[in-house]
Amino acid sequence: MSKCRAKSTPLSLSEQMRQTLIDSLKTHLPLDLHARTLDETQVWELVLYASVQGLSLDSACQELADVPSGNRVREHLKEAFDASAFSVLAVEEELNAALAQGLSPALTKRINRNRYDIGIDLVEIPYYGQPAQIDEEIRRGQARSGTTRFHAYATLALVHQGQRYEVALTFVWADETMDQIVNRLLTQAKTIGVRIRRAYLDKGFARPAVFTLLRQKRIPYLIPLPIKGKTGGLKALCQGKASYRTRHTFNVGTSQAYTTDVILLCRYTKGRYGRHGCQWFAYAAYGMKRVPLAQIFALYRRRFGMESGYRQMHQIRARTTSANPTWRLLLVGVAFLLYNVYIRFRQNGRQVNPYDRRARTPWLSLKRMAHMIIRLIEQRLGVADFQLGGAT
């Protein structure tokens, strides 16, 4: 006689996403709290709530009912994440481990079998204060948002089944060169077994040192080059009405002279964006000889899809005015973890119709995911009721 088995209730999609994030953060970034009214799960729920809302941690504590004050939470977090360079490096290592763990199961199984297109990006978040400990925490750049001082971060993303996953993150110090940044990201990606088919970098990485590094590692690349000047340099090569390949030497007549393959594409605007005539694009290339010129522009356009990850990351990044570089790095890392979980569950998630029990792939946007996490945390921790001062 068969025995009746208890039916297991599957977790909702929002609970699955929350549980995945909390487990990853607790595994790789243990807090070791010693507080009577605050536990590790609650702290990470506050961080996630601040991230998906785009709030500061203090504002998140004011929004929720059953949580301590923002000052008290910050005191405990300050013990776990100090502002030293050693702490930055330690948190960076753990965030990379968490990013690797957050990849979809299908990608994790095949990551060391297939070759993937990768994109390397640099993001600078404006900063208006002083360094927490050392000047190297802040990177100088062109004036933007009323400042020339930034906290900078670089990431390496790969494309799997048309979806972008962030697999490596690093803090960028003020005195670092572009080739040092690229080398560190490639090393981090290698530790989890990423095999590279082609690398697409943006114009900021167009440096001879970066070209040399990628050639030494035998990684095919496509990097756009700025077309400057009126007559010399790359401008002089933009002649005729047909695309072509050639060789070009940078820094001619100096000790830094470097010769590389260059692809010059002639594209007709056909009235797009109010422009007419021929528009030239120049790319430094390696390992692209078998790719027809007609496909080069379309290949590099894939990078624009990769860059959309940064726009979405800013939508789910908690805000802070803290000078602590470790804390700022952590908030950027949590935003990328949220992004990876969004991509993973958008691909693999299922919803069940309660009437006919048929499963279907959910329509999951980043905004919808944020709302689902917000509602779940508010149900768990309650919503604070604000009182108006004075009688009416």
The string of pLDDT tens digits covering residues 248-274 is 888 777 777 888 889 988 887 766 666
pLDDT band at 389 (very low <50, low <70, confident <90, very high): low
Output the pLDDT for position 71: 87
d(CA 111, CA 176): 29
Output the pLDDT for position 352: 52
Residue in the structure block whose two tokens are 């790359």: 234
User: Phi, psi at residue 56, to the nearest 5°?
Assistant: -80, 165
> Has residue 317 got a pLDDT over 60?
yes
Output the pLDDT for position 306: 65
Those residues with Cβ within 8 angstroms of residue 179's Cβ, 6 or more apart along the chain or in another chain: 207, 209, 210, 212, 213
Beta carbons of 154 and 170 less than 8 angstroms apart: yes
Give pairs for 349-356: CB < 8 Å, separation 24+: 349/13, 349/16, 351/13, 352/10
Residue in the structure block whose two tokens are 């905004």: 367
Output the pLDDT for position 240: 81
How large is the average pLDDT for residues 149-160?
92
Between 58-62, 279-283, 382-386, the lowest mean confidence (pLDDT) is in 382-386
Beta carbons of 44 and 27 less than 8 angstroms apart: no
Model pLDDT for residues 170-198, shown as the tens digit of each residue: 999 999 999 999 999 999 999 999 999 99
Report H helices in 165-276: 178-191, 208-216
d(CA 265, CA 278): 10
> Has residue 335 got a pLDDT over 90?
yes
Those residues with Cβ within 8 angstroms of residue 119's Cβ, 6 or more apart along the chain or in another chain: 156, 157, 158, 159, 164, 199, 200, 201, 303, 306, 307
> Has residue 33 got a pLDDT over 80?
no
If we measure between CA atoms, which residue out of 136, 121, 124 comes closest to residue 182? 121
Output the pLDDT for position 1: 47
Beta carbons of 99 and 332 less than 8 angstroms apart: no
To 5 degrees, how large is the angle CA 179–CA 180–CA 184? Answer: 115
d(CA 40, CA 44): 6
pTM for the model:
0.88
Model pLDDT for residues 198-218, shown as the tens digit of each residue: 999 988 899 989 999 999 999
pLDDT band at 392 (very low <50, low <70, confident <90, very high): very low
If we measure between CA atoms, which residue out of 313, 379, 325 comes closest to residue 121? 313
User: Which residues, listed in sequence order, are joined to residue 170 by a DSSP beta bridge?
Assistant: 154
d(CA 127, CA 148): 8
